[in-house]
């Protein structure tokens, strides 16, 4: 009798750790690879968690998220991606365009990857939008069309500007540049190109705008610039320069005007894709999606500080007007 009880107790003692280990292993892990730092993209990460929760996965309950941030240093991305692969995460989500997506792709051909960025076909990330193939899928931002739209809006907002400078990051692809230059030639506007990939280079670029007699500035599409939006907005104010940004968040920080997809709406969809993959769907079967929600945002307080009158044609189209 006592011997039987001992055997049962011993069996329970062995089984409990095994069950606990199995339960721990059953919790999937998402690797989140960001090119910037967590602060500026906190709203996007929150939207990602929301989209993930809508598929039944809640961080800290039945899914874990392992974050890796390059802090603006793209050279760190391959090592961070390799680290996530070494930890055997179930899905990798990349934030910040082509570079983190490419780093993740180079690090693994088996772990599913969900990315955000420019044209993934042109950049060699997927075979096609409808059938990505391989282990990647995600969301694209229509880079050429959006940069052209922002240039047109800036021209409309400052019609007398004969020089509109363009700030771009030389470390990332810029397939959109030729079309923007053609649009500037068509309007008879000079488009000097300024390059910046560090904080100090941004400062130097703004300082050079005085000599160029620039009447406005177009911020090129780049995750680094989104990460440095506070610096860009402050410099635009210091130099009293009408500046167009990529995202609403820059206008909320005091920028003049922005046009682009809703980052929060996009990252909510990214979370949804990640959850669907955790449930068994394959990236190769999930089409690369294009944004469906766009935002034209204008800051009237900033316009007044710059001595600008926002045309009624822009105000009528604006999705949000900040005063």
Nearest to 244 by CA among 322, 150, 145, 180: 150
pLDDT given for residue 98 in this prediction? 86
pLDDT given for residue 231 in this prediction? 97
Q: Which CATH class is domain 27-141+263-285?
A: alpha beta
In terms of pTM, does the model score above 0.85? no
First-to-final CA distance of the chain: 82
Sign, Cα dihedral of 218, 220, 224, 227: positive
Q: CATH second-level architecture of 143-261+294-322?
A: 3-Layer(aba) Sandwich (3.40)
Q: Are 92 and 309 in contact (CB under 8 A)?
A: no
- Report domain extents, the chain: 27-141+263-285, 143-261+294-322
Q: How many helices (H) and strands (E) does the chain have?
A: 13, 12
3-state helix, strand, coil in the chain (%, to 5): 45, 20, 35
Report the distance separating Cα 159 and Cα 146, nearest Å. 19
Report the distance separating Cα 166 and Cα 154, nearest Å. 11
Which residue, chain included where needed, has tokens 């606990």?
Answer: 20
pLDDT given for residue 211 in this prediction? 93
Residues 6+ apart with CB under 8 A from 143: 118, 119, 175, 176, 221
Strand order in the sheet with 257-261: 193-195, 164-168, 216-219, 242-245, 257-261, 294-299, 320-322
Q: Which long-range contacts (C-beta less than 8 Å, at least 24 apart) are formed by 185-188? A: 187/155, 188/162
Q: Are 223 and 169 in contact (CB under 8 A)?
A: no
pLDDT given for residue 222 in this prediction? 87
Nearest to 36 by CA among 231, 166, 167: 231
Question: What DSSP designation does 288 have?
Answer: P
pLDDT given for residue 145 in this prediction? 85
Pairing of strands 113-117, 64-69: unpaired
Report the distance separating Cα 149 and Cα 47, nearest Å. 26
Examine domains 27-141+263-285 and 143-261+294-322 and report if their fold is the same. Answer: yes
pLDDT given for residue 24 in this prediction? 47
Question: What DSSP designation does 208 have?
Answer: H
Residues 6+ apart with CB under 8 A from 188: 162
Decide: helix, strand or coil at residue 323: coil
Nearest to 272 by CA among 52, 73, 70, 17: 52
Compute how many other C-beta atoms are within 10 angstroms of the C-beta atom of residue 127: 15
Buried b / exposed e over 178-196, threshold 16 CB at 10 Å, is eebeebbeebebbbeebeb
Collect the ranges in the chain with pLDDT lower than 70. Answer: 1-25
Compute how many other C-beta atoms are within 10 angstroms of the C-beta atom of residue 15: 10
Report the distance separating Cα 255 and Cα 205, nearest Å. 17
Buried b / exposed e over 57-92, threshold 16 CB at 10 Å, is beeeeebbbeebbbebebeebbebbeebbeeebbbb
């Amino acid at each position: 009798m006592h011997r039987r009880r001992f055997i049962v107790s011993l069996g329970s003692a062995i089984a409990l750790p095994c069950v606990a280990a199995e339960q721990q292993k059953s919790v999937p892990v998402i690797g989140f690879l960001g090119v910037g730092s967590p602060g500026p993209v906190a709203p996007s990460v929150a939207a990602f968690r929301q989209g993930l929760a809508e598929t039944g996965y809640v961080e800290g309950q039945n899914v874990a998220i392992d974050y890796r941030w390059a802090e603006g240093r793209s050279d760190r991305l391959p090592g961070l991606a390799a680290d996530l692969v070494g930890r055997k995460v179930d899905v990798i989500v990349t934030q910040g365009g082509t570079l983190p997506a490419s780093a993740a792709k180079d690090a693994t051909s088996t772990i599913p990857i969900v990315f955000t960025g420019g044209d993934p076909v042109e950049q060699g990330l997927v075979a096609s939008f409808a059938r990505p193939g391989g282990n990647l899928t995600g969301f694209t931002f229509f880079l050429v069309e959006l940069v052209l739209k922002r240039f047109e809006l800036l021209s409309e907002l400052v019609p007398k500007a004969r020089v509109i400078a363009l700030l771009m990051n030389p470390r990332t692809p810029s397939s959109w540049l030729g079309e923007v230059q053609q649009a500037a030639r068509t309007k008879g506007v000079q488009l000097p190109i300024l390059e910046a990939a560090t904080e100090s280079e941004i400062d130097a670029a703004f300082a050079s705008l005085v000599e160029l007699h620039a009447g406005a500035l177009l911020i090129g599409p780049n995750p680094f610039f989104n990460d440095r939006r506070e610096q860009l907005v402050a410099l635009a104010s210091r130099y009293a320069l009408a500046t167009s940004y990529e995202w609403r968040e820059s206008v909320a920080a005091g920028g003049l005007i922005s046009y682009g997809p809703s980052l929060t709406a996009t990252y909510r969809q990214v979370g949804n894709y990640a959850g669907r993959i955790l449930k068994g769907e394959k990236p190769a079967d999930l089409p690369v999606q294009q944004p469906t929600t766009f935002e034209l945002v204008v800051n009237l307080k900033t316009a007044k500080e710059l001595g600008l009158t926002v045309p009624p044609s822009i105000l009528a189209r604006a999705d949000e007007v900040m005063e």
